[in-house]
Amino acid sequence: MKKFLTYLLYIICLVLLVLEFFIDKSSVHFNIEKHFALFGVVGFLATFFYVLSANLLGKLILKDKDFYDKQ
């Protein structure tokens, strides 16, 4: 099941990229939105950014649950 879902995720991502070739972008108002795979790249990198930054931040702000009770 896990393998199936993983492959499904890969396939969906691939299909979404392919679909971008077939979509009519002439009615899109803003040029920045027309870049190929822009949204995919932002989604992918943003999540990496969140996870890595959170890991670094975690070293500083993650404390034991009785942190505020300790004197």
Per-residue x/- track, 8-27, other proteins (CB under 8 A): -xx-xx--xx-xx--xxx-x
Q: How far apart are the first and last CA of the chain?
A: 49
Judged by CB, which is closer to other proteins: 4, or 19?
A: 19
Q: What whole-number distance in Å separates Cα of residue 48 and Cα of residue 54? A: 10
Q: Is 35 in the site for other proteins (CB under 8 A)?
A: no
Q: Is 36 in the site for other proteins (CB under 8 A)?
A: no
* Cα four-point dihedral sign 46, 49, 50, 51: positive
Q: What whole-number distance in Å separates Cα of residue 32 and Cα of residue 28? A: 10
Q: Binding residues for other proteins, per CB under 8 A?
A: 6, 9-10, 12-13, 16-17, 19-20, 23-25, 27-30, 32-33, 37-55, 57-58, 61-65, 67-68, 71
